[in-house]
Amino acid sequence: MSEKLWGGRFSESTDALVEKFNASIDVDKRLYNADIQGSIAHLKMMANEGIVTDEEADTLVKGLETVRGKIDRNEVEFTDTLEDIHMHVEDALGKVSGKVARKLHTGRSRNDQIALDVRIYLKEETLTIIKMLKDFQAALVTLASAHKKTVMPGYTHLQRAQPVLFAHHLLAYYEMFKRDIQRFEDSLKRVDVMPLGTAALAGTTFPVNRQFTCDTLGFARVSENSIDSVSDRDFTMEFISHASICMIHLSRLSEELILWSSSEFSFITISDAFTTGSSIMPQKKNPDVAELVRGKTGRVVGNLVAILTTMKSLPMAYNKDMQEDKEPLFDTVDTLKICTEVYTRMFANIEVHTETMRNACKQGFLNATDFADYLVNRGMPFREAHAVAGKAVAFAISQDLALEELSLEQMRSFSDLIEDEIFDFISLDQMISRRISYGGTGYENVAAAVDAAKKELNL
């Protein structure tokens, strides 16, 4: 004889290995608060509609609050026999409130229950993540604000390209995280949908008032179709997808921090508190935090592949495969949160070597484009100017000189449009100052962009 809550039609008890295999309690126990919130709303609705009496609902609501306290204090033992968090809560309620607890599961199913629990959980976590990303943006903007005049080489193909302001480079990340925040904000619309009361898949014969449950739980709207309600995991796939993009932004930043803190670049030093040493090489100070953020991106992308693959061929409606949605989701939430938090703190502990950055701009012909622009300003078509500047660069390389180290005569051998003021024109500060096209790295642009970002963040 089976003692299970669903054991009526079973005459044999579950195989011990199956019990362990089938159970999800180790994973879904973190949903206990959401599960209890959902049950309380369900009871209030049932009392309102006369499905249970006010007295029964009262007893059970108090009982559920007691259960919540017990789980808070680790006083409820979790066991595979009780499968998942829903059964644990119901079982614990039975112990607290007695037989009346058996009325709780009227007009609902674990299928709509789990859909509700995850939505309650994800709404809250998405809001937390948005807040954490804003804190991280604030750290980026604070550093940018201190470096509105710091020049560094901008790169394409990881080759020095044109000078940019360090603040401008940091604000590129500010924009990426802004889009991430917008994606999370937008996805909330699709999370904020209340599935309870659709029961197993077909709706219920009890006169449930789903709008009442929705309002009690503070959801924006009720789901429309009972089959979709218990089958939809789009919101989980969408969240992990947005989280993957966000992690990829963090990973690209990590890669730059790792490069910049190498002896080869020496653009920054990450403080001791955010680096680690080597067990064999006494001189080492490794950017492990940045490497771990880069590495953990793989986990989150893996979680995305896991959830997409799990869902890809599932027929309507609920299938037990869907129990596999929670590990990737929870791991994604945890990973994104810790990576964001650790970077928020690390960014306040980065020392920037402005002189090294500036010196790096002196090698690599970062002023070659401006050399060509100079000729264009004097009437030469850009393509020709590009060729002339290219020849000047080749000549300078052969002399082991920078462009600005050539003499005026040497320059004029490439074009007699060149006059003495070219030296100012191709100087670092003038190159930055002139890039005032909208969104460019000009000093004024960047100062305004820093101000705008501060305003957006209320800094």
Which residues of the shown chain bind ligand ARG in the complex (CB under 6 A)? Answer: 24, 28, 84, 110-111, 114, 318, 320, 322-323
Pick the catalytic residue from 2, 271, 278, 433.
278
Amino acid at 234: D
Instruction: In angstroms, give the least distance from the CB of 120 to ligand ARG.
Output: 14
Q: How far apart are CA 448 and CA 326, in angstroms?
A: 44
Q: How many CB atoms lie within 10 A of CB 59?
A: 20
What is the smallest separation between the CB atom of 21 and ligand ARG, expressed in angstroms?
A: 13
CB nearer to ligand ARG: pick between 121 and 184: 121
- Residue 169 annotated among the catalytic residues of the structure: no
Closest CA to 207 of 216, 199, 195: 199
**Dihedral angle at the C-alpha atoms of 254, 256, 259, 260, nearest 10 degrees?**
-110
Nearer to ligand ARG, 40 or 118 (CB): 118
The token pair at 283 is 């001189």
Minimum separation from the CB atom of position 364 to ligand ARG (A): 56
Catalytic residue among 157, 398, 407, 437: 157
Sign, CA torsion 382/383/384/390: positive
Closer of 111 and 332 to ligand ARG (Cβ): 111
The dihedral built from the CA positions of residue 446, 151, 457 and 172, taken in this order, carries a sign that is positive
By C-beta, is 22 or 66 nearer to ligand ARG? Answer: 22
Query: Nearest approach, Cβ of 317 to ligand ARG (angstroms)?
Result: 10
**Which one-letter DSSP state was computed for residue 151?**
E
Cβ of residue 73: shortest distance to ligand ARG, in angstroms? 24
For the bound state, the minimum distance from the C-beta of residue 326 to ligand ARG, rounded and expressed in Å, comes to: 6
Q: Which of 352, 335, 344 is nearest to 269 (CA)?
A: 352
Nearest Cα neighbor of 296 from 347, 350, 335 is: 335
278 in catalytic set: yes
Q: Which is nearer to ligand ARG, 303 or 340 (CB)?
A: 303
Q: Is the dihedral of CA 29, 31, 35, 37 positive or negative?
A: positive
Angle at the Cα of 232 from the Cα atoms of 227 and 238, rounded to 5 degrees: 165
- In 44-175, where do the E strands start and end? 151-156, 159-165
Please state, as a whole number, how many other Cβ atoms lie within 10 Å of the Cβ of residue 303. Answer: 25
Alpha helices of 80-109 — where are they, by DSSP H?
85-97
Shortest distance (Å) from residue 454 CB to ligand ARG: 44
CB of 121 closer than 8 Å to CB of 145? no
Say whether the peptide bond before residue 449 is cis (omega within 30 degrees of 0).
no
- Report the C-alpha gap between 145 and 153 in whole angstroms: 18
CB-based contact 298:243 (threshold 8 Å): no
The first and second tokens of residue 74, run together, are 């680790």
Integer Cα distance of 121 and 101 in angstroms: 24
DSSP alpha helix (H) spans, 323-381: 326-347, 354-360, 368-377
**Closest of 31, 14, 44, 217 to residue 110, by C-alpha:** 31
- Nearest-approach distance from CB 320 to ligand ARG, in angstroms: 6
Task: Kindly tell me which of 82 and 164 has the beta carbon lying closer to ligand ARG.
Answer: 82
Instruction: Indicate the residue among 114 and 122 with the shorter CB distance to ligand ARG.
Output: 114
- Cβ nearer to ligand ARG, comparing 114 with 165: 114
Active site residues: 157, 278
